[in-house]
Each structure stands twice: as C-alpha cells, then as structure tokens.
Amino acid sequence: MGESKDKIDCEPTVNYITMEEVKTHNSSKSTWLVIHDKVYDVTKFLEEHPGGEEVLFEQAGGDATESFEDVGHSSDAREMLKQYFIGELDLADRRKENSKDVLITTTSSHSSWWTNWLIPAFAAGIVGLMYRFYLTETKSSS
C-alpha cells in the first residue's frame, strides 16, 4: 500500500501553464505570478504579504522572478511559495536567460577556447611559411 502511494508521489502529473494564460490572471480576483518558471496563484496571499499587495499587483500576470530575487526573500518566504504553486510554466514560454544564456556562455567559451588557439597558431604558421619563402628567395637570388 505504502509503496504504491510512493510511486504516485514520485510521478506527479505536471500541469503546464502558458504565459498567455498567466497574463489573464492579473486582477485582484485572480492573481498569478511566475517565479523561476513556476506559476503561483497568490490571490489569497495578497493581503498576507509582508511586502504589501501593491508589489504583487505590479507583477500580476507576469514574471516576478527578478523582483522576488531583488528583495532577497528569506528561506521562509521560499517555503511559503510552495503552497501557492499551481503549475509549471509552459516550456515554450520559459525565459531565455535561465536556460539558453547558460548554453550560449558555454558554447561561446568553448568556441573562444578554440579560436584563442587556432588563430595564433594559424598566423604563426603563415609567418613561418613566409619567412621560409623569403629565405629561399634571398638564397637563390644571391
């Protein structure tokens, strides 16, 4: 019995929510926020928020990750988030900064590693060839 329950806990059905849908929940009747690609329904939390409801309204129906992090919320605040979680942000709507930027950084640092070596090596090879050519030229002409 316990085992089958564990299995269910391990495979939760992920509810994906599009940004388009999040955007429609921007009123006091229904306030949704996106923080770190997760969607939270904070309608019932508005009045309880120690930072005031206005700041939450400003971000309503949008991505509040930056503002949330700028405030430097405590781990208690992060724990509180969990109870308002309603789903994951649709993969297609996720911010490029989180995933792609990391990818770009790694790719570009990789490519710069290569170009950092290849370009000087190539240039040195050409200079060497030219020097050899110059030596044979001067030798044959004298």
Interface with ligand HEM by CB under 6 A: which residues?
33, 40, 42, 45, 49-51, 55-56, 59, 64, 67-68, 71, 73-74, 76-77, 80-81, 84
CB of 25 to ligand HEM, least distance (A): 13
CB of 96 to ligand HEM, least distance (A): 20
Residue closer to ligand HEM, measured from CB, 98 or 105: 98
Beta bridge partners of 41: 32
Beta bridge partners of 85: 40
Residue closer to ligand HEM, measured from CB, 2 or 72: 72
Count Cβ neighbours within 10 Å for each residue of 36-74 and write b for 16 or more, e otherwise. ebbbbbbbebeeeeeeebeebeebbbbbbbebbeeeebe
Task: Give the residue closest to ligand HEM by C-beta.
Answer: 51
5-6-7-10 Cα dihedral, nearest 10 degrees: 130
Residue closer to ligand HEM, measured from CB, 52 or 128: 52
